Structure 1
Amino acid sequence: MVGGGIKPQSTHPDPAKAEELNLLWEHWTPQADADGGLDFNGLLGLAVRGMVIDGESFCSFGFENGQLKLRLIDPDQIDSSRDQQLTGGANIIQGIELDRSGRRLAYHLFRDRIGLGFAWSQERVRLPASEVLHLFNPIVAGQLRGLSWFAPVLLRLADLDTAHDAQLVRQKIAALLTGFIIDMEGTGGSLAESVADSFAETSLEPGEMRVLKSGQDVRFSEPAKVGAEVIDFLKITAREIAAGLGLPYEVLTGDLSDVNYSSIRAGLVEWRRQVDALQRNVIIHKFCRPIWRRFITTAILTGQIDAPGFERNPEPYLSANWLTRRFDWVDPKKDVEAEIAAINAGLMSRRQAVAGRGIDIEDLDREIAADRDRAKDLKLAFGGEPTASDKEVDDV
C-alpha cells in the first residue's frame, strides 16, 4: 500500500511557489524521523504495517532545531485500561480523552515503551490530540481503537498451522520406519535374545548386503504420500484466510498454478480498487495530509519560506495532491495503448495519466525537455527521430 512512497504535489496557484514547497518537502523527508532511523516513506511504511498487524499506529509531532520531527508510538504504550469520567462531561475511554460531544482531546499513554525491562517506567503522560496522529481503518461508527486485520482469520491460521505440523510429523514418522524384520517361523527365541536383538544394528548403508537368520524376512515400509485431499484442504483453508484478509488467494500465497492471464487480471482489478480506497481514505487522509499541513505551517512560521497572504488564506499553501505508486501489469503495452487512446479521445488528461504512475508531471516534462536538448546537442536520435546531421543533409 505504500511501495516506494506516497508523494505530495503542491497545488499552489503560483507554479514557482508550488515548486518551492515541493522542494522544501523533498529536503525534509530524509530527516523526518525523530529517532534518525528512517525517512518519511520509511516511517509511513512502518505505520501502515502497524495498522495491519496491530490494527492501529500512533505518531507524535515534535520540534527540533527548527525542524518538524515525527516519532512513532507503540500502540501498547496507550493506557487501554484507563476508563474515567471527568468533570464537564469529558471521558477517558481506552486511554483516549473525549469531550462531551465525542471529540478527541488527548491521549493518555505510558512514557516508555513496554518491554524495556528495568528501564521501563509506569509514568503516564497526556498528549493533546492535536499533537498525535492515530492511523487505523474504522469499520463501525464511533470506533475509538483499531482492530488487527488478522483478527477475523486467527482461528483459520491456527488450523492451518496445526494441519501443517500434523502432516510434517506424519512424514517424519513414515521416513523413520525404513522396514521391518519378520520372523516367518515364529521362533523369536528367549526374552534375553529378543532384548539383545532389539539393540542390534539395523540401519542400512549404500550397497550393503546383510545375511538374515533362518526363517526371517524383510518388508520395507511404504510411507503414505501427501494425498490430494491434504492439498485441497490446505488450499481451501488458504482461500478462506485470503478472503478474511481481503486479499486475492494468489497474492497471499504466490500460487499461480490455477490462474490464467484473464483470471488473475480480473482478480487484481478489484483488489487494487480496495487498495486505492485505503490509500486515499485512510492512509493519506489520516496520516500524510496532516503531516504535510503541519510541515508547511511550521516552515512558514519559522521563516523557512516566504508565504504572502498565508494568515488571511492558508489553503493555497496547505493543499496538495498525493501521488501513489502505480501497480505494474503483466502486459504494460496494452495499458499504455489504452491510456493513449483515452487521452486522444479526451477521456483522460495527460496529467492524470502521469499522476497515475506516481510521477509529478512537472518533473517529467523538465526531464523530457532536458533529454531532448542534450540529444540535440550530441546529435542523437531515439524512437526513429532523424538526427541533426540527417536534417542538415535533407536541407542541402
Structure 2
Amino acid sequence: MWPFNKLQIEPVVLPQEIPKPKAVQARKYQPTSTEFKTQTRSLTGLPTKIIGSHGTGVQNVNINAVLRQSLTSLRDASRSLVLQNPYARRYVSLSSGTVAGADGITVRPSPIGLDGQTDPVLADRLDKLFYEWASDANRFSTDGSLSFDIFQQLVERARATDGECFVRLHTDGDELQVSIIDASRIPSTKNELLKNGSYISNGIERDQHGRVLAYHVADINPLNYTIQTNSTQRVPASEVLHYFIPEFPGQERGFPDCIAVMKTLEDFNSYNEAAVLQKKIASSAMAFITSTDNSQEELLDGETEQREYIEHFEPGSIKELQPGQQIQTLNPQAGTDKITEFSDAVLTTISTGLSLPKSMLTGDTQNASFSAAKMADRISREGFKTRSNLLISKVLKPIYREFIKRIMVSELKELSFTNFENIANSTFITVKQVSLDPNKDAQYEQVLLAMGVKSKSQIIRDLGMEPQHIFEELQREAEMEINKTETMNKDSSNEIQEPKTGDDVNE
C-alpha cells in the first residue's frame, strides 16, 4: 500500500550541478484577511473579518460604511453571546425588565377639552377602549402572540441584542395591528441609486435630503427559514417604526449594546472554562505500576506479546506500564491563581463597556455598602430612564396616536380631527423602581413639594400611578369620612333627645 508499494529513487545530482544558494531576503509578514490582527485593534477589539475593513479605525470613513460591512457579523456575534454568555444574557434581561418592566409602560389618555383642562369622561373612555384592544393579543398583534406589555419587553430585548428593532403597523384590516420585523430581514448590504436623487442605504430607502421613504424587507422561506436578500418587499416608512439609539451623526442603523465588550466576554468565558477543566484534572488521581522485567514471553510461531498502549485514563484507575514506558505529568495550577482578583478586574471592564454598575450586572451585593448600592441604583436608573423615554417617543406614542385615528373613524365619530392633537394627548408612566430607602425618598419629595418646584401630580406619576384617579379616590374617601361623621353626630344627638317613657318618669 502507498507509500510502501513503490520504490522511490532519488535522482543523482552532480556536484557541479548543485545550484548556489540564493541570499534569503527578509520579508515582512502580511497577515491574511481571515487572520486576527494583533497589531491593529479594531473599533471593538474584534477581528477585521467581523468588524469589516473600515472598522480598524476612524480613517475618515462614514459610520454607515462600517454598518454596511460589519452589521450582520456583529448582530450574529451579539445573539450568540446573549444565548450562551451569562453576563450578556443578564444584561439584556435587566435592560428589558428595567426599561419596560413586567407590566409595561402605562399609557394614560389625557385629552384636553375646550376649557384647556383634561376631560375626565373622555379620558376614561379612551383608556377603556385602548386597553381592551392592547390587552387582547389576538387584536393587538398579527400573529396573536403579543399583548401590549409583552410587546414592550420583546422590543427592548431585540434592541439591546441587535442594536435596533423594527415594528410594523398594519392598517389594512378592520383595526390596527402590530408586528415585530426581524432586523436581519432588512439587509444592510442592499445599497442602490434610484431616480430623482433617492437611494437605498443599508436596506433603507431615503430621498436626496436623507429623509426615510421606505424599508426593504427581505422575504423568508417558511420551510428552511433562510432569508432571501435578493427578494425584498418595499414597506412605506409610515408603516414602520425604527427603534435604535443613534451614536453618530447620520447613523442609519443601530449597533448592538455588547459591541464594546464582545471580545472581553468571549475571553472571560474561555478563561472560566479553562479554570473548570483544570479543576477537573486536579481532582482526578491515578496510580501506575512499572515493571523491571524486560523479558518478553515468546508465543506460538515465534510471535511476541503485543504491547498495550494506554491513551485514555479514568479517575481512580490503576494501570501497569510496559517496560521502557514512562509518564510525564503536567500540573497547570498557575492558570487559576488569583482568579478572584482577575475576575473582578474583568467584570469591571465589562460593566464599564455596558454603562452599568458592576453590582447590577452580577447581582452580587455581598460586599456592597448601603451608600454604594444606593449610588449604583441611582446611576442605573438614570441610564435606563433615557431608554424608556426613547421607547416612548419612537414606538409607544406613534402606536397610540395611530390607535386614536382608527378609533375616531370607527367608534368615536363625534370627535373632530381638527382637534386631534388635544384628543391624542396622553401621559406615559414609566416603571417605578424599587427604592432602597423609601422613607428618605418620601422626605425628599415632600421637600420639593414644599419648595414649589414639584407638583403632587408629578410625584404621583413618578410613583407609577395616575394623578386624576388618585385625586378622585381621595375626594371620595374624604366625602365618605364626612358622611360617616355626620351620621355618627346625628345618631348621638338622637340618643340625647330621645323622650322618656312613663316607667322612666316614675322612677
Same fold (TM over 0.5): yes
The CA distance in 1 between the partners of 2:213 and 2:177, in whole Å, is 21
Which stretch of the first structure deviates more once superposed, 366-375 or 150-159?
366-375
The CA distance in 1 between the partners of 2:182 and 2:314, in whole Å, is 57
Determine the structure 1 residue equivalent to 2:129: 24
1:9-34 deviation digits (Å, cap 9, x = unpaired): 22212221122222211111123111
2:469 is the alignment partner of 1:363: yes
Aligned pairs (5 A) from 1:225-240 = 229-240=338-349
Aligned pairs (5 A) from 1:1-396 = 1-3=99-101, 4-13=103-112, 14-31=119-136, 32-63=140-171, 66-112=174-220, 116-117=223-224, 123-176=231-284, 178=285, 180=287, 188-190=292-294, 229-280=338-389, 282-302=390-410, 304-308=411-415, 310-367=416-473
Kept in 2: contact 1:175–1:223 (CA 8 A): no
Cα shift at 1:116: 4.3
The CA distance in 1 between the partners of 2:240 and 2:309, in whole Å, is 74
The CA distance in 2 between the partners of 1:91 and 1:246, in whole Å, is 35
Determine the structure 2 residue equivalent to 1:214: none
Give TM-score scaled by structure 2 length. Answer: 0.64
The CA distance in 1 between the partners of 2:128 and 2:477, in whole Å, is 21
1:330-355 deviation digits (Å, cap 9, x = unpaired): 22222223223332443322111110
The CA distance in 1 between the partners of 2:295 and 2:338, in whole Å, is 44
Letter in 2 for 1:15: P
Which stretch of the first structure deviates more once superposed, 228-237 or 125-134?
228-237
- SS, match of residue 247 in structure 2: coil
Cα shift at 1:231: 1.2
The 3 A distance-change label for structure 1 pair 162 and 222 is closer
Cα shift at 1:389: 7.0
The 3 A distance-change label for structure 1 pair 259 and 301 is same
The CA distance in 2 between the partners of 1:296 and 1:314, in whole Å, is 9
Gaps of at least 5 residues in structure 1 are 206-220, 380-385
The 3 A distance-change label for structure 1 pair 389 and 257 is same
Determine the structure 1 residue equivalent to 2:503: none
Cα shift at 1:367: 4.7
Cα shift at 1:152: 0.8
Larger Cα Rg: Structure 1 or Structure 2?
2
Gaps of at least 5 residues in structure 2 are 1-98, 113-118, 298-306, 318-329, 497-507
1:223-260 deviation digits (Å, cap 9, x = unpaired): 95996621111111111111111111011111213310
Percent identity over the alignment? 26
The 3 A distance-change label for structure 1 pair 391 and 338 is farther
The CA distance in 1 between the partners of 2:296 and 2:153, in whole Å, is 69
Number of corresponding residues: 365
1:34-73 deviation digits (Å, cap 9, x = unpaired): 1111201211110111000001111111137522100100
Give TM-score scaled by structure 1 length. Answer: 0.81
1:303-335 deviation digits (Å, cap 9, x = unpaired): x22453x32231101221210011111222222
The CA distance in 2 between the partners of 1:85 and 1:222, in whole Å, is 62
Kept in 2: contact 1:323–1:359 (CA 8 A): yes
RMSD: 3.6
The CA distance in 2 between the partners of 1:295 and 1:307, in whole Å, is 16
The 3 A distance-change label for structure 1 pair 241 and 203 is closer
Higher relative contact order (CA 8 A, sep 6+): 1
Letter in 2 for 1:7: T
1:121-158 deviation digits (Å, cap 9, x = unpaired): 66321000000011111101111111100111100011
The CA distance in 1 between the partners of 2:365 and 2:335, in whole Å, is 20
